[in-house]
Amino acid sequence: MTSDTAEPTRPAAPRPAMPRVNTVTAADIRASLKAGFADFRARPVMSGFFGLFYAVFGILFLWCLIALGQVWMVIPAVVAFPLVAPFAAAGLYEMSRRLQTGDSFGRRDILTVMARQRGREMGWMAFVTLFVFWVWMYQVRLWLAIILQDASFSDLNGFLETVFFTPEGWTFLLVGTVAGAVLSAALFTVTVVAMPLLLDREVDFVTAMLTSVRVVAENPLVMLTWAAIISVTMVVSLVPAFLGLIFTLPILGHTTWHLYQRAVAPEGA
């Protein structure tokens, strides 16, 4: 027998509306790069800190691989290193957001931005990024075992000689490049505006990723151009012992924020 005094069921909270995606052009990329460079000039030391931290982490990571005798991981690690850049640039997005709104901020406000996001869903995006990084490293090891199974190398020079000067090495590079391009394209598609969106609004990480996919799907040529700019800039930055990242990572991070602002309509619009 049911009770007449039972409390009525509360209606479920309405799900936030999917953000509206704008059409972006090459002019938007140029304007975003200009704004990103202006943000870097506004706070060069704080911006450069993120690039320096990223560069030092990369150098130490490679040193550990070589010291542990994992020379086969050096090339894939260098190639995959830019994959985690969107997550590393979270503080840069916050800087650009505050510069845009005119809010004052100090080092603590920016360096603790990720800690303040622990109650939201930025951590899930970090998991997605690191998972793709892990998949990349695992598939490289798989192709290494299949293609270079008869090769022998005990140091970095031996590995580089095998990879760049043998037919098996060329096959390994070709297969690895194709697989890496697919993974990089997939990660770029789901993260290009997802990170700034999660920092800017109260949305879940699935909504953020779907919005990012829609931005790429509705602006394929422009976003492909942006992906190419990021890829070329990051590769060139790695050449001088990763030190180019001190300047390029902050500028790309600030630019990403401004491109997100142009690609995704304001909340409620």
Give the pLDDT confidence of 117-161 residue by residue, as tens digits. 555 667 777 788 778 878 887 888 888 778 877 666 666 677 778
pTM of the model: 0.80
Take residue 232 and report the two structure tokens written for it: 């070329």
| pLDDT, tens only, 171-211 | 888 888 888 788 888 888 988 899 899 888 888 889 999 99
pLDDT at 114: 59
| pLDDT, tens only, 40-60 | 999 999 899 888 988 888 888
| pLDDT, tens only, 208-247 | 999 999 999 999 999 999 999 988 898 888 877 788 889 9
